[in-house]
């Protein structure tokens, strides 16, 4: 396939971009260096329009085809932000930013979309317009929502939108996708428990928040096992347990629990919030203490449109020869805001036998670059074939 051959030629150049981005990770909306690099490359490629500052630090590049009888605009989206964690890969291009790391492969997503943009700007072998979208703050900041709220879809009259994520454990350059609900809705919670502190040798004189919090942690698991419909997906995880003391002989006055909830259905999301609050408050009261719950809804369910999913799968098969049905993913993905605003599809691309995403030893697999670039380019050329 000519597209794949071209990206094989570009592989050393795209790899160099990817590793430069990897070496200089930026978190949430603070993607100033990455956004500037992206804008600079889009200018070098000869994009027809380049706009920065969409959704705070997002970048959009516009490439027009040889013709525009279709009047159609397709959006292609990559995320740019890193995670607030310390890298342990030992790579010669490992993060130079303390406490920040590209542990989810957004460096690879950005580099691949830049590669596709370079090819599309060179060839323009399509009938319509493509919006190349580089988004900040996917990792919990809602950068996708910010870009949509900034009027991106209406400003460039985007008709449909496509995204991609690398996936460790799948063969390198292979693809998987599913229609409908794909990635889960997210929520975060903080539970503040208050009892009566005192000496650990006199527990009868206290209201022991450590025991109270332990009961809360265990009871929260009953939301999934005893409250939710067994055929519906839900995850309730307590991820942090902080007491008000580090001493061996002090029963703390307070305990702070943190965690996350993941769901695929609006009714289960409502149930989870209601029961989590009832369980925390009821358990604390039963043991003579009190609970304050701060529950915050996050990203909505990320759902693929039927037509766009079928098309994206066909393109994937043309690129790599196969496209499997992807499993449901209980992770969150703020591409959800873009597929709510417009029909679209999100696909997984194999990263090979690597460490999982969000692991300190994860690294994006550069061998996957030609397949990823080809998929994006073929989306444009096959969805808007040259007149």
As a dihedral over the C-alpha atoms of residue 227, residue 230, residue 232, residue 238, rounded to 10 degrees, the angle is: 50
Phi then psi for residue 258, to 5 deg, are -125, 155
Average pLDDT rounded to a whole number, residues 25-49: 98
| In the predicted structure, residue 77 carries a pLDDT above the cut 90 | yes
**Beta pairing partners, 76:** 132, 162
Phi then psi for residue 90, to 5 deg, are 75, 10
CA–CA gap between residue 351 and residue 306 (Å, rounded) = 25
Average pLDDT rounded to a whole number, residues 115-144: 98
Q: What is the pLDDT of residue 4?
A: 64
Average pLDDT rounded to a whole number, residues 292-312: 98
Residues ≥6 apart with Cβ < 8 Å to 261: 186, 187, 188, 189, 234, 235, 236, 237, 269, 272, 273, 276
State which H helix or E strand residue 257 sits in: strand 254-263
Concerning whether 81 is annotated as a catalytic residue, the answer is yes
State the residue for tokens 């989810």. Answer: 104
| In the predicted structure, residue 1 carries a pLDDT above the cut 60 | no
CA–CA gap between residue 218 and residue 198 (Å, rounded) = 24
Average pLDDT rounded to a whole number, residues 127-150: 98
The catalytic position among 127, 138, 139, 273 is 138
User: How would you classify the pairing of strands 160-167 and 73-79?
Assistant: parallel
CA–CA gap between residue 177 and residue 19 (Å, rounded) = 27
Q: Is residue 162 within 8 Å of residue 310, measured between CB atoms?
A: no
Distances (CA, A) of 26 to 197, 220, 344: 42, 35, 27
Q: What is the pLDDT of residue 2?
A: 41
The catalytic position among 81, 87, 208, 333 is 81
List the structure tokens of 312: 């994206």
| Neighbour count for residue 366 (Cβ, 10 Å) | 18
CA–chain centroid gap for 220, Å, is: 26
| 192-209 pLDDT per residue, tens | 999 999 999 999 999 999
List the structure tokens of 120: 């599309």
- DSSP class of residue 385 equals B
Q: What is the pLDDT of residue 387?
A: 84
CA–CA gap between residue 166 and residue 106 (Å, rounded) = 9
Phi then psi for residue 26, to 5 deg, are -135, 140
Domains and CATH numbers, the chain: 2-182+301-383 (3.40.630.10), 185-297 (3.30.70.360)
| In the predicted structure, residue 3 carries a pLDDT above the cut 90 | no
CA–chain centroid gap for 81, Å, is: 10
Concerning whether 87 is annotated as a catalytic residue, the answer is no
Q: What is the pLDDT of residue 173?
A: 95
| 221-244 pLDDT per residue, tens | 999 999 999 999 999 999 999 998
Q: What is the pLDDT of residue 25?
A: 98
| 146-184 pLDDT per residue, tens | 999 999 999 999 999 999 999 999 999 999 999 999 999
């Amino acid at each position: 396939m000519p597209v794949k051959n071209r990206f094989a030629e570009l592989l050393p150049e795209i790899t160099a971009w990817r590793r430069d981005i990897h070496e200089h990770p930026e978190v949430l909306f603070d993607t100033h260096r990455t956004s500037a690099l992206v804008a600079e490359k889009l200018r070098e490629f000869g994009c027809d329009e380049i706009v920065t500052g969409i959704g705070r630090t997002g970048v959009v590049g516009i490439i027009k085809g040889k013709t525009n009888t279709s009047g159609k605009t397709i959006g292609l989206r990559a995320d740019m932000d890193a995670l607030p964690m310390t890298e342990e890969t030992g790579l010669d291009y490992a993060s130079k930013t303390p406490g920040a790391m590209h542990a989810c492969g957004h460096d690879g997503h950005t580099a691949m979309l830049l590669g596709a943009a370079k090819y599309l700007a060179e060839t323009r072998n399509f009938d319509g317009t493509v919006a190349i979208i580089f988004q900040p703050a996917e990792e919990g900041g809602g950068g996708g929502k910010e870009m949509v709220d900034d009027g991106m879809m209406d400003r460039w009259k985007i008709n449909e939108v496509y995204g991609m994520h690398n996936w460790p454990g799948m063969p390198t350059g292979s693809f998987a996708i599913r229609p409908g609900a794909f990635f889960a809705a997210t929520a975060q919670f903080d539970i503040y428990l208050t009892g009566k502190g005192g000496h650990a040798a006199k527990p009868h004189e206290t209201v022991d928040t450590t025991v109270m919090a332990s009961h809360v942690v265990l009871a929260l698991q009953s939301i999934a096992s005893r409250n939710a419909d067994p055929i519906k997906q839900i995850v309730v995880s307590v991820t942090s347990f902080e007491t008000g003391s580090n001493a061996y002989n002090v029963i703390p006055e307070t305990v702070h629990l943190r965690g996350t909830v993941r769901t695929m259905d609006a009714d289960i999301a409502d149930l989870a919030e209601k029961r989590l609050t009832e369980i925390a408050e009821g358990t604390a009261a039963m043991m003579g203490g009190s609970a304050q719950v701060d529950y915050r809804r996050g990203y909505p369910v990320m759902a693929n449109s039927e037509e766009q999913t079928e098309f994206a799968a066909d393109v994937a098969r043309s690129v790599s020869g196969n496209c499997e049905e992807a499993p449901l993913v209980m992770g969150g993905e703020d591409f959800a805001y873009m597929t709510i605003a417009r029909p679209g599809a999100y696909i997984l691309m194999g990263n090979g036998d690597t460490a999982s995403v969000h692991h300190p030893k994860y690294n994006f697999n550069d061998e996957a670059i030609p397949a990823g670039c080809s998929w994006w380019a073929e989306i444009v050329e096959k969805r808007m074939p040259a007149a």
